[in-house]
Amino acid sequence: MKAFHESYNAQQSNLEKNRYLYDLYHRDLEGFYKFVFPQMQELLPIIYTPTVGEAVTEYSHHEICSPTTRGLIIKYTEAHKIEELLSRHTHNTDIAVVTDGEGVLGIGDQGIGAINIAIGKLMVYTLCGNVNPYRTLPIMLDLGTNNERHLTDPAYKGLRQKRISGKAYYEFMETFVNAFKKHLPDTLLHFEDFGRDNAKPLLDKYRTFHPSFNDDIQGTGAVALAAVKSGISKTKLPTEQHKICIYGAGTAGCGIADQISRAFAREENKPVEEVRKRFFLIDKKGLLLANDKELLSFQLPFAKNESAIAEQTNNKSGIWGLKEVVKHLQPTVLIGCSTHKDAFTDEILQTMYSYCKKPVIMPLSNPTSKAEATPERILNCTEGNALIATGSPFKNISQCNNALVFPGIGLAMVASKARCLSDDMLLSAAKTLVTEAESNQYSHQLLPNFNNVTALSYKIASAVIKEAINEGLCDLSESETDEKLRSHIWTLAKS
């Protein structure tokens, strides 16, 4: 370990440290985990967000030191070989993280470099959920890129062509998923960082066809739901008295809105359509409006009738930006998924505090340079009364980090062999987070911290499996749950 520490500390930048750790991962898997486990909280930001974003961007300019690499890259030109490539992993894979690299971490289309996203995600599965790393598989679907920087870069390692789309794209994905189901029938298919036009349609199409999970939609939604429910519980007001505004109506924002609205509908015993009347989603053009012909299918459930909203609020200006929504519609919960730095202005925050003395405010965009507001500024504008969760790490503030939830969900799917991941299974994961946050010694925290994240993941996995049993989605009995989970916990000693 001393040599690892010396080599790691010799790296000058976070990117160099990331590259050192990824090289170690490919070269010496057990050595990697022996080095990282004891200092996991310190190294997670190097291994994964935010540093992995830079590593993805610069992927083609770094040669991996190891002669063997962990991962599978399938190029569009190799569509005829998909079955052959996947068949090599039939008997040794519990979780596969699959990406096409179009929607990476708020930095967009990064092409082949996104293989590092898949690798990093699987590292977190092991570090936070004790998932066996020898039974994981990162898969990069190289379907081209529309990123001109990569297309004109002589060093770019991926397909040097425009990204395929439309019918050709969905035919390729159909071929891939069918082959995946055939050769890896019990393997969890984790969709990661797909573009916003494709992520939700793919999840909707395949989530009941094969055990599937999209962390950008479902994981983000579950953690945000937990933070919102935790925050609302501290306001002492029922959910019926809360209105939700989400600034950023892409895959993540709509995924959050979908999960929160469904959870509220269950709690209030109302149709979800009725509950969604209290949800206001804003994209770059403003409040989602039903007469906008460019709305995507996953945005439509949250679109508003412009004339009805104008009449309800007496705002006849036709302008429905964040400022106008906060002023006229008065949300009590404000969530940011926009990557628009400082979008939550002092004026907006002060307006919100003028009518809501305990607002729940969650600037979730990361890294910090893209956050809608800092906790310090939020607290200054609300006289210290806001209930806050963030996407980036801040001292003594709950971080809406998907690593709190997706490792436990993945462990549950691996151990139970559940036939699909249902909405209620996701809700059980969110409820576990809320329960754990309530037991936190810091009463103002909306989410658990990372101090004992592996134990948290185990509790989430247990809750998710129990819900799968209740729904008849797996063949375990409740008495078998604990034993089955323990049999899938990986430790270095067992390897």
Catalytic site positions:
48, 121
State the Cα–Cα distance between residues 479 and 491, nearest whole angstrom: 24
Report residue 281: phi and psi, to 5°.
-110, 135
238 neighbors 278 (Cβ within 8 angstroms)? no
Cβ neighbour number for residue 273 with a 10 Å cutoff: 10
417 neighbors 185 (Cβ within 8 angstroms)? no
Helix (H) or strand (E) holding 362: strand 360-363
3-state secondary structure of 304: strand
State the Cα–Cα distance between residues 459 and 468, nearest whole angstrom: 14
Interior/surface letters 135-145, b for 16+ CB within 10 angstroms, e for the rest: bbbbbbbbbbb
Where residue 257 falls (left for φ over 0; alpha for ψ -120 to 50; beta otherwise) is alpha
95: β partners: 136, 188
Which residues are CB-contacts of 149 (< 8 A; sequence separation ≥ 6)?
none
Report residue 278: phi and psi, to 5°.
-95, 10
Alpha helices in 383-480 (DSSP H): 406-416, 423-438, 453-470
363 neighbors 391 (Cβ within 8 angstroms)? yes
CA-closest candidate to residue 229, choices 46, 71, 427 = 427
3-state secondary structure of 329: helix
